[in-house]
Amino acid sequence: MTQCFKDQPSDQQRLNHNSTPVADCECKEELLYGSKTLITDVPILTCACLWRHYQREAEEIVAPGGVLIADPVERNRVINAAYARLWLHDSRFQWAGLAAFASKQVGCGLLHAADSIEHIRDEYEARQRLRDSRREFGLLTSDRMSEQAQELRDYKEADARNPVPSVDFRSTGEDLSLVQQQFRHVHDMMALGNTTLFLDVFPLHEFYAKRGLRELKTCLRARARIHGRPKFPVLWPVGKEKLEFGLDYTEILLGFEAIEDGDIAGSVEHLARHEQINILQPTIYQDRQLVALLRANHASYVTGFPSGVAQAIELTLTNQCQRVEDGRTIDFGDNPLADLSDIKQRMAFVLQAAARFDQMLGDHNRNALEQSISEIASSGSSL
């Protein structure tokens, strides 16, 4: 096992018992029912206390010091590492091992979107400089010939890196073009789903790892009640109108019961259904703009038109973004009408990846898989 969780005083304390010896508690004199009475406040370790501890630990990973990591790519990196450490801590947490790769793939998408936005900006600015120069000095004036030639080269290089066709639209006064805004929306929604899912599932794993299945069953319903308390705020980026915090979905207990029973493949399937149906579907896959953009992206990638715009929907079971041709890359499919937002199609893709991951853990690929997970774990801040 590797260290995954911070040690907490509550780890050694009994649920629903005093967390501080009564002799150490402060005794105060208070007026009670018209007479002065000695009152001793004794803190009790409750389910809510435990959830606050574990939720706060997850928040410290993505929002150290209470400030959310502003760069979604950096935030994704520490999320990937935390998932990887979960599996290294306890290999029964196979969903987390798969999630380390899936979340890494989200990071690849974030980089693709951010780079595309930047390349479009570079081409636009190079074109503007070229136009301004020609407007001011005319075409290839003798005293400006060398400079204009360099501006033309700069524009051609920027245009070659631009991932979208030359037909784009930019409203007057808008910082981003229409295509850039589309890339930005996909980028922001992917980051939202990535962060929200992590804040949901990491505390669940810590609770089970430290307190066991029996207390998880006892306390699961209490989790939702810690949200909305001004004294103990909970970071929940998606907002209550889309997804309520901490609901006790059936798939959660089914997943951890399967772990307890040694049915690891079953646990992955139950937790994958929780991940996709209960968390990601309402958080991002019901967003109409995202759905339309994902459909267009997949159709573009499969058909190759427009060329170079789209990114493949796939999961590669390595620590890199590039696909590999040795069976470790799982494709969403080659049907241009396939729809990632459709839960049935997406679950089939996820379960295919889960089956391949489970298979690799049992064959000659295990060492390479463990090495990749270890590298993902080491890429994030250590405890």
Up-side HSE of residue 12: CA atoms within 13 Å toward CB?
A: 5
For the ranges 186-190, 252-256, 306-310, 324-328, which has the lowest average pLDDT? 306-310
Q: Is pLDDT of 349 > 90?
A: yes
Q: Is pLDDT of 382 > 50?
A: no
Three-state secondary structure string covering 36-49: EEEEECCCECCHHH
* Residue 341 neighbours by CB under 8 Å, 6+ apart: 285, 286, 290, 291, 294, 295
Amino acid identity for residue 67 in this structure: V
Paired tokens of 129: 């400089």
CB atoms near residue 158 (< 10 Å): 20
Phi, psi for residue 71 in degrees, rounded to 5: -80, 115
Phi-psi category of 20—alpha, beta or left, where left has phi over 0 and alpha has psi -120 to 50? beta
Average pLDDT over residues 341-369: 94
Up-side HSE of residue 213: CA atoms within 13 Å toward CB?
A: 10
Q: What is the pLDDT of residues 138-178, one digit of tens each?
A: 555 555 667 767 777 766 766 666 667 666 677 767 777 78
Q: How confident is the model at residue 34 (pLDDT cuts 50, 70, 90)?
A: low
Q: How confident is the model at residue 102 (pLDDT cuts 50, 70, 90)?
A: very high
Torsion sign, CA atoms 286, 287, 291, 294: negative
3-state secondary structure of 32: strand
Average pLDDT over residues 215-227: 97
Query: Running DSSP on this structure, what letter comes out for residue 14?
Result: P
Contact between residue 190 and residue 106 where contact means Cβ atoms under 8 Å apart: yes
Q: Is pLDDT of 313 > 80?
A: yes
Q: Which residue has the higher pLDDT, 324 or 104?
A: 104
For the ranges 6-20, 143-157, 366-380, which has the lowest average pLDDT? 143-157
Preceding peptide of 306 cis, ω within 30°: yes
Q: What is the pLDDT of residues 238-277, one digit of tens each?
A: 988 999 999 999 999 999 999 999 999 999 999 999 999 9
* Residue 131 neighbours by CB under 8 Å, 6+ apart: none
For the ranges 85-89, 273-277, 295-299, which has the lowest average pLDDT? 295-299
Q: How confident is the model at residue 334 (pLDDT cuts 50, 70, 90)?
A: confident
Paired tokens of 309: 């715009």
Average pLDDT over residues 269-297: 93
Q: Is pLDDT of 94 > 50?
A: yes
- Out of 35-44, 153-162, 184-193, the most confident range is 184-193
Average pLDDT over residues 318-335: 87
Please report the pLDDT score of residue 380 as a whole number: 62
pTM summary value: 0.85
